[in-house]
Structure 1
Amino acid sequence: MQVWTTARCGAGTASCTVARMIEARELTKRYGGTTAVNALSFTVRPGVVTGFLGPNGAGKTTTLRMALGLNTPTSGSVTIGGRPFRERPRGLRHVGALLDAGDVHGGRSALAHLSALARGNAIPRRRVTEVLEEAGLAGAARRRVGGFSLGMRQRLGIAAALLGDPPVLLFDEPLNGLDPEGVLWVRGLLRRLAAEGRTVFVSSHLMSEMEHTADRLVVIGRGELIASESLADFAARGNRRSVAVRTSDPAALAALVTSAGGALEPEDDGSYTVTGLSADRVSELAFERRVLLHEVTARNSSLEQAFMELTADSAEYRSGGAR
């Protein structure tokens, strides 16, 4: 992606960091008697990919909409570069965003849609061609958006977010509908944008993608902050440690593990997962009772495990087996 904007600051400088920060301070949004976001405070900084996580109904989309001036906070504030987004007359040159890939007139072509956005934000027309190529839509530029697949609409939404070459980017579930190649493209794009010194804030329900992409996390539940820290620190907060084992006598091992207060679960690859006991304790028990083990590997808590544990009380919906 070529840089055409002249108002660039040096990445890493204090003034540049402030100019690109997203700051929420005691941000609150109520709809009648329902509180969607409650006294939420966090900071998103440039140079890293920050994931925005929370169960369904946690208030993620409402928060992003308030950041973009689409919803008005009941109280508190959210600013981008120290100012509310509504104060920026040519917003796409400051902030690029994808909230709803379907929010495009189906009768327009991709080229017409982006061209209209470019004119309204005083963006050179050549940027339209550049972002269509970046998003892999150059060959479909003159097709009507109404005939696009969900994945193509996602690509068009990302192209629109990139149109103004902005220093701050917000994405709400950008991987919806994308095929594996598209997922890899978005993953690389987010990492590259952050490496260029931009602020990248992305919500997703795909924990595996956040593990591959995000450096930091903002996690909320029922509209309130649960964590704002590095991905590694958040994952380490999970209490569920496990041990991968392989044995030729799973029945004997299961009896040992159960008697010691642990649990043994079979995996599809022929191995077993032990929870509730450390790797050292599993080895000791097997040695004492002469149960042969071919593998004993300690596993740390994954991001998904930590997320499920730490947001359990904030989930709006639970399956029948969940507690």
Structure 2
Amino acid sequence: MIELRDLTKRYGRTTAVDRLTLTVRPGHVTGFLGPNGAGKSTTLRLVLGLHRPTSGTALVDGHPFAQLPRGLRHVGALLDAGDVHGGRSARAHLRALARSNAIGRSRVDEVLSEVGLAGVAGRRIGGFSLGMKQRLGIAAALLGDPPVLLFDEPFNGLDPEGVRWVRGLFQRLAAEGRTVLVSSHLMSEMAQTADHLVVIGRGELIADESLAEFAARSARPHVVVRTPDPTALTTAVREAGAAVESAADGSLTVTGLTPAALGDLAYARGIPLHELVTRAASLEEAFMDLTADRVDYRAGDHR
């Protein structure tokens, strides 16, 4: 379990993490989300003792990480897949980590096999692709068989098979009763991987709830409709003050009207409907709605 209590980190006049209080519990894949510059990476580094908090505490199973002997047995982490010695082989890299944490050498071969790198274990890391380095970083996180795992952008550089494998790995680790915290900007992957979300913006906690609860926050549910007269329906919807978009398959997606209101509108205008389906907002839409006023960097923003 990870516990943050009024965790704060300032760099001069800049507050990267602001009185952050939350608990990341075992048995879940917890997605850690936020706009660029929200303080996600800083928070992970505070948990791991790589940064010292200005105030507040970050605890792993009731203790600061720095006080835990042989840390890899308590916490496994992947923060930067490229932060490895390129001249070492994958096996040598993991053996050095294992030796420093009193982990048997046989465990090195186990994790190399688990992440799919057994066949390249003797190759120098400098020749690895980003996806291979991600797998090696995950192997290092698993090395001590820890109860707590943290991953920062673990999907970057992975091919579709690798993404699917990582998704299943995280869910299996959580099912084993471990605490799994995953930071990522890929909303589509979080929607398929996490079952709980923590969202921060400008260092402050915005949301701490289940995936379903978070997705339901969006004020933009959609109604997908099919009609033999899309032009007339489009005009009617826009006159009613709602938004409508057409899809390649001929359907219309309406935002701003309930299914009942849309049905009544079509009936009043004599427009036949062949299909009327409500679709919940996506995780990405809910995220954009919730963090709209917490974004520091926007494309086209010339302030």
TM bin, normalised by shorter chain, reads over 0.9
Q: Provide the rounded CA distance (Å) in 1 between the counterparts of 2:111 and 2:22.
A: 31
Alpha-carbon offset, residue 258 of structure 1 = 1.0
Alpha-carbon offset, residue 170 of structure 1 = 0.3
Partner of 1:178: 158
Secondary structure at 2:16 match in 1: strand
Residue among 293, 300, 303 paired with 1:320? 300
Partner of 1:283: 263
Partner of 1:130: 110
Partner of 2:66: 86
Alpha-carbon offset, residue 248 of structure 1 = 2.2
Secondary structure at 2:274 match in 1: strand
Q: Provide the rounded CA distance (Å) in 1 between the counterparts of 2:49 and 2:248.
A: 48
Partner of 2:276: 296
Residue among 29, 34, 37 paired with 1:54? 34
Secondary structure at 2:10 match in 1: strand
1:167-204: per-residue Cα shift (whole Å, max 9, x none)? 00000010000000000000000000000000000001
2:159 is equivalent to residue 197 of structure 1 = no
2:164 is equivalent to residue 188 of structure 1 = no
User: What is the letter of the counterpart of residue 149 of structure 2?
Assistant: L
- How much identity, in percent, do the aligned residues show? 71
Q: Provide the rounded CA distance (Å) in 1 between the counterparts of 2:236 and 2:253.
A: 14
TM-score (norm 2): 0.97
Superposition misfits of 4+ residues, deviation over 4 angstroms = none
Secondary structure at 1:269 match in 2: coil
Alpha-carbon offset, residue 52 of structure 1 = 0.3
Q: Provide the rounded CA distance (Å) in 1 between the counterparts of 2:247 and 2:110.
A: 47
Task: Output aligned runs, 1:240-319, within 5 Å.
Answer: 240-319=220-299
Alpha-carbon offset, residue 270 of structure 1 = 2.6
User: What is the letter of the counterpart of residue 76 of structure 2?
Assistant: G
Partner of 1:163: 143
Q: More deviation in 275-284 or 140-149?
A: 275-284
User: What is the letter of the counterpart of residue 182 of structure 1?
Assistant: G
Task: Output aligned runs, 1:22-41, within 5 Å.
Answer: 22-41=2-21
Alpha-carbon offset, residue 218 of structure 1 = 0.7
Secondary structure at 1:311 match in 2: helix
Structure 1 unpaired stretches of 5+: 1-20
Residue among 47, 53, 64 paired with 1:67? 47
Q: More deviation in 284-293 or 23-32?
A: 284-293
Q: More deviation in 245-254 or 124-133?
A: 245-254
Q: Provide the rounded CA distance (Å) in 2 between the counterparts of 1:46 and 1:267.
A: 42
Q: More deviation in 297-306 or 120-129?
A: 297-306
How many aligned residue pairs are there? 301
Alpha-carbon offset, residue 317 of structure 1 = 1.4
Secondary structure at 1:79 match in 2: strand
Partner of 1:218: 198
Partner of 1:233: 213
> What do you get for the CA RMSD once the two structures are aligned?
1.0
Alpha-carbon offset, residue 292 of structure 1 = 2.1
Secondary structure at 2:136 match in 1: helix
Q: Provide the rounded CA distance (Å) in 2 between the counterparts of 1:318 and 1:25.
A: 30
Alpha-carbon offset, residue 139 of structure 1 = 0.5
TM-score (norm 1): 0.92
User: What is the letter of the counterpart of residue 28 of structure 2?
Assistant: V
Q: Provide the rounded CA distance (Å) in 2 between the counterparts of 1:116 and 1:132.
A: 14
Q: Provide the rounded CA distance (Å) in 2 between the counterparts of 1:146 and 1:268.
A: 45
